[in-house]
Amino acid sequence: MILDGKKTSENLMKQLAKEVAALDDVVTLTLILVGRDPASQVYVNNKQKACMEVGINVEFHHLEENATQKEVLKIIEEANQNEKIHGILVQLPLPSHLDEEVIINTINPLKDVDGLTLTNQGKLFTGMEAIHPATPKGIMTLLQKYFIEISGKNVVVVGRSKLVGKPIAMLMLQKNATVTIAHSRTQNLKEVTKRADILVVAVGKPNFITADMVKKDAVVVDVGINKVEGKIVGDVKYSEVKEVASYITPVPKGVGPMTIYSLLENIIQSYKLLNKNK
Ligand SMILES: NC(=O)c1ccc[n+]([C@@H]2O[C@H](COP(=O)([O-])OP(=O)(O)OC[C@H]3O[C@@H](n4cnc5c(N)ncnc54)[C@H](OP(=O)(O)O)[C@@H]3O)[C@@H](O)[C@H]2O)c1
């Protein structure tokens, strides 16, 4: 069965739009893009469009590739101070002359809608209330909407990035899964992935997971976005793995739209957290 991220996110966005319309204030996101990386421009456009759809205002700062650290920090510091700004998002990756750690950690953690500041990462690690990165949060919402049981299950996450692999592993652990994190140094990967009741793949390599690596009736979540001959494909060889899996996310229309929805949810969460802390 397909885990339809597109339909699920569309339904959730309709509900969120109603919630946004009922708020007392205009919710505003400061969105910063540095440079002209084509993929980043597409992501930023999609984020802007989604914000508009639910009634979130976007203050967009598009800086030249050679923008200085000081220029980026100035925008963040002003947005931190501005009570009318509820969320701040810096599109990654940044050009290599900029210090990503410093830039991200300048964001007020209450406005950190990507959940990437050390404060939000630490809170996720300890299980405190936090803003969670949008992709793992979207995966959890999707599984919940399909009533997929997590407690007690063997979850294998392939990939250990800060943005996807590590936070999804923590969220699964919070839901009482038995979690294994695999990565490029994992030995006998197939043996590891075969044990998964729920397999989450965030590697960035097309057709990386084949049917022989998947246990019968496993739930397979494909996070990968790869371009092959002009087409977007995931990390999972969909045509064959769908025959083995009980549930599977397609690419596109799986995790991608859930990520966008979760970002919107995070912006509203930031708005509420800021109001609570006034
Ligand atoms: N759908 C969405 O909304 C969304 C959001 C974010 C990312 N993505 C996509 O998801 C994919 C992963 O993104 P990311 O940011 O997590 O990527 P990343 O930072 O490049 O991390 C890739 C991970 O895969 C592991 N890996 C690489 N080769 C491997 C191998 N042969 N066997 C096992 N593990 C291997 C790496 O291990 P090491 O740590 O050992 O190097 C690393 O932990 C990309 O295609 C990206 O475009 C999609």
Q: Which of 4, 111, 112, 114 is catalytic?
A: 114
Q: Is 187 a catalytic residue?
A: no
Return d(Cα 107, Cα 272) in angstroms, integer.
17
Rounded to a whole number of angstroms, the distance between the first and last alpha carbons of the chain is 45
Residue 249: the pLDDT is: 98
pLDDT of 80 over the 90 cut: yes
How many Cα atoms occupy the beta-carbon half-sphere of 13 within 13 Å?
A: 24
Residue 71: the pLDDT is: 98
What tens digit of pLDDT does each residue of 62-76 get? 999 999 999 999 999
Do residues 90 and 103 make contact, with C-beta atoms less than 8 angstroms apart? yes
The CATH number of the structural domain formed by 134-256 is 3.40.50.720
Return d(Cα 267, Cα 168) in angstroms, integer.
19
Q: Is CATH 3.40.50.720 the classification given to domain 25-108?
A: no
Residue type, 136: P
**Residue nearest ligand 1's atom 29 by CA:** 184
Q: What is the mean pLDDT of the chain?
A: 97
Which ranges in the chain are annotated with CATH 3.40.50.720? 134-256
List Cβ neighbours of 43 (8 Å cut-off, separation of 6 or more): 91
Is the pTM value of this prediction over 0.85?
yes
Residue 278: the pLDDT is: 80
Residue with structure tokens 């007690």?
Answer: 152
Which ranges in the chain are annotated with CATH 3.40.50.10860? 25-108
Instruction: State whether residue 223 is helix, strand or coil.
Output: coil
Q: How far is the CA of 204 from the centre of ligand 1 (A)?
A: 5
Does ligand 1 lie within 6 Å of residue 163's CB atom? yes
Residue with structure tokens 């998002």?
Answer: 89
Q: How far is the CA of 169 from the centre of ligand 1 (A)?
A: 13
Does ligand 1 lie within 6 Å of residue 186's CB atom? yes
Return d(Cα 72, Cα 76) in angstroms, integer.
7
Does ligand 1 lie within 6 Å of residue 272's CB atom? no
| Alpha-carbon dihedral 210, 137, 21, 9, rounded to 10 degrees | 10
